[in-house]
Amino acid sequence: MAIVAGIDVGTQSTKVLCYDTEARKILATSQSPHELISREDGSREQEASWWIGAMISCFASIDPIIRRSIEAVGVSGQQHGFVPVDASGEVLHAVKLWNDVSTAAECAQISSCAGGDAQLLAGEGNLILPGYTASKILWFKKYHPDKYGKMAHILLPHDYINFWLTGNAVMEYGDASGTALLDIKSRTWSRRLLRCIDAKRDLSEVLPRLIEAHQVAGNLTAKAATLLGLVEGIPVSSGGGDNMMGAIGTGTVTDGTLTMSLGTSGTIYGASDTPVIDPQGLLAAFCSSTGAWLPLLCTMNCTVASEVTRKLFDQGVTQFDAIANEAPIGCEGVVMLPYFTGERTPNYPRGKACLMGFDLHNMKVRNINRAALESAIFGLRLGLDAFKDLGYRAKEIRLIGGGAKSSVWRQMVADICNLPVVVPAVPEAAAFGAALQAFWALEHAGGKDTGISGIVADHVVLEQEASCVPIPANVTRYAKAYENYMLYVSAVKPIFG
């Protein structure tokens, strides 16, 4: 048994969690916020140096005795971000993030070169969407050719943190699948897609070496150890994207479990022992960070909708929920399409948020509040329907993210999805998952053939007091409201699609 640390480099902040695997106890947590660069063209960027500064700040706030006791580190990172690095290890450009939708034209160019959506799904398994890394690389080549020529490494956010910690440029299969450049069935880089980005340069030479989920990315360098107050040489696990680490942190590592994350983005994902490719293209065909697969639906606007609505009416969180709870299911016909930052599912990169369905009687604050909440879950219901269409039999939903703290939202998820909802006892699922993966890697490095499912069974605890079950009458009402919502989603396709 050991003390391990999980680092989660998210969109809004970096978090660090220290966990004692013997006492099964969290010893310390810390958090440091990030800024965000937003532009009218849909650009969403951050400086990689901000993540390093935030990570150093997080560790500095943790007791030095705990820091010196840490035996392994795991890293979770926001998915899909593009970190171009030169041969000396310097980052060449601000990082284009997962919610950057400015590369829609590059997506279309790569998709056309690859033969269209049907060919992509039949081949590599994923569409080329603006959120993914592939189009960001082409954008960089087009608009910053000098910097592109100096690019020695293509890294994702968690890979860059691993690179800073260890000096090694490696990537595991979960985050690799989120680039849209990996053939998820053969688990190899797609050379034809790489040629679509650059027919002259062999981009496989600047992509990281792929490693298995239980392997270490490397060992902590003396410089990183000094800056973080950790012991030099401790192992750093392969890490993974925040959703992949969230799956470990919630126990979603075996068939039949689903996790729904209500954060800045909304995600719903499930563990699978075999590749899952959705012919509709709604579910992303990702690999997991456990050696298996993690089919996933992501929406770009989840708590975004409730936060901007809450601020519009100058309401606190508790007040917002209470007012929303006064409105009936379906909001008397009021519908919000929460495409504040464009949208990935459905693929509306030019999307704008809309409030629809008003008449002389239903234009009320309570209806608008509730519509903001309902819209986020209706968007994720698309993913649940896709899972069901593919024969995935879900038993329950494990709910995480800021939205999981709301009792109104928890019951709404249970009723809209018609599934029991449970909440993991550790709310920071991505950081916790990174810590558990670090423990898994440490066990393997010590010659033990420990399985991740056993680790999860031993350490992931569910908070039963926060659980919800569907209320049959509500399920029926929500089914009608969801049908009405989908009519509006279809109606705006000619404008936003």
Q: 194-216, pLDDT tens digit by residue?
A: 999 999 999 999 999 999 999 99
Mean pLDDT to the nearest integer, 457-484? 96
pLDDT digit string, tens, across residues 217-243: 999 999 999 999 999 999 999 999 999
Domain extent for 280:
252-424+461-497
pLDDT at residue 109 tops 90 = yes
**Run of H or E residues at 6:** strand 3-9
What pLDDT is recorded for position 264?
86
31 with 176, same domain?
A: yes
Same-domain check for residues 308 and 358: yes
The whole-number pLDDT of residue 185 equals 93
User: 239 and 257: one domain?
Assistant: no
Instruction: Please report the pLDDT score of residue 286 as a whole number.
Output: 96
Mean pLDDT, the chain, whole residue set = 96
> What letter does residue 302 receive in the DSSP assignment?
S
User: pLDDT tens digits, residue range 117-146?
Assistant: 999 999 999 999 999 999 999 999 999 999
From residue 105, give the alpha-carbon distance in Å to each of 102, 109, 141, 339. 8, 6, 13, 19
The pLDDT assigned to 4 comes to: 98
- The structural domain count of the chain equals 2
Residue 431, in any domain of the structure: no
Q: Which pLDDT tens digit goes with each residue over 309-360? A: 999 999 999 999 999 999 999 999 999 999 999 998 999 988 999 999 999 9
* Domain edge (last residue) among 243, 274, 289: 243
Please, which residues have CB within 8 angstroms of residue 43's CB and are 6 or more apart in sequence? Answer: 37, 96, 100, 102
The residue from 209, 243, 277 where one domain ends is 243
Asked whether 66 and 3 are in contact (CB, 8 A), the reply is: yes
Residue 393 predicted with pLDDT over 90? no
287 and 158 assigned to the same domain:
no
Establish whether 242 is a catalytic residue.
yes
Active-site choice (183, 242, 278, 321): 242
Q: Is 286 helix (H, G, I), strand (E, B) or coil?
A: strand
In the chain, the amino acid numbered 158 is H
Q: Are residues 237 and 256 in the same domain?
A: no
pLDDT at 254: 85
The CATH number assigned to the domain holding 61 equals 3.30.420.40
pLDDT band at 257 (very low <50, low <70, confident <90, very high): confident
- Which of 180, 209, 243 is at the close of a domain? 243
Statement: residue 256 has pLDDT above 90: no
Q: Would you say residue 104 lies in a domain? A: yes
Look at residue 297 and tell me whether its pLDDT is greater than 90.
Answer: yes
pLDDT value, residue 497: 83
Condensed to tens digits (0 to 9), the pLDDT of residues 49-62 reads 999 999 999 999 99
* 222 contacts 361 by C-beta, under 8 angstroms: no
Q: Are residues 263 and 237 in the same domain?
A: no
Confidence of residue 95 (pLDDT cuts 50, 70, 90): very high
